[in-house]
A and B are shown apart, each in its own frame.
Chain A
């Protein structure tokens, strides 16, 4: 039981990282830390795919003339190359949004931002109420 559980230690690492990443995204209030969490979360998925591709004793998948060669699966590596690029794009977009938010709000803490948003929103409702009351008279 124990050996079979610990024998798949690579999956343990994957899910450990996955949970860390997801926790950071959900639990942190700092917008930048959320992006860090997202990156860790995505990296864990990369590791998951790479783990699938590895075959014990497998060689790089280059054809040779020896008949009984075991090849590792190259496909997950290619997929992850694409996923890494997507991840880079996501991170870059997220960071640029954080920069913009910081320059507009002066803070990247979620609480400060939502407090300011709520004020704006209530202001909007209040002023529009006042206007409508004025014109009903």
Chain B
């Protein structure tokens, strides 16, 4: 597909705005519709689009598998880490109130970090699923 100039140029133009839109959905989740799940899928779609148009090899060059796995775990660890920090500060698990100077500030910080963790994990899971399915080699050796 990488021979088709329209697809190639459209992908290059769209790539950054898709991620930007993903980040908007991510961080605007406090005030309006949005949040980690949706944003994660949107961000992942940018990388998946890139890999579809330029081929899996190029896609893996842009976003290598080991970084993918690392970020996938990091998202979950970030989520749990927020909970552990709130426990260490003497409150219940995932209680955001103690994280900031006031209760409201704490809630802000907490939900932002947790949703960011969710977003990281979701986007990386989506990309990992895409890689796994596209890269699947049957026992006969042919790529499906």
Contact = CB atoms under 8 A, between A and B. Distances in A.
A81 B38 CA distance: 10
* Interface SS majority for chain B: mixed
B102 interface: no
Interface stretch (B52-60, B74-82, B135-143): B135-143
Interface in A4-56: none
B136 A92 contact: no
Contact of B133 (A95, A102, A103, A104): A95
A85 interface: yes
B27 interface: no
For this complex, into which size category does the number of interface residues on chain A fall? under 10
B139 A99 contact: no
B37 A103 contact: no
Interface residues of B, number: 11
Contact of A102 (B122, B129, B138): B138
A103 B140 contact: yes
Contacts of A103: 136-140, 144
A85 B129 CA distance: 13
Interface string A101-128: 0111000000000000000000000000
Contacts of B137: 103
B132 interface: yes
Nearest to A82: B37
B136 A99 contact: yes
Contacts of B122: 85
A92 B129 contact: yes
Contacts of A92: 129
Interface in B8-38: 37
Contacts of B133: 95-96, 99
A114 to B, nearest CB: 20
Which of B122, B138, B144 has the most chain A CB atoms inside 10 A of its CB?
A: B138
Interface of A: 81, 85, 92, 95-96, 99, 102-104
Q: 4 closest A-B pairs (Cβ-Cβ)?
A: A103-B138, A103-B139, A92-B129, A99-B136
14 contacts: A81-B37, A92-B129, A95-B133, A96-B133, A99-B133, A99-B136, A99-B138, A99-B144, A103-B136, A103-B137, A103-B138, A103-B139, A103-B144, A104-B139
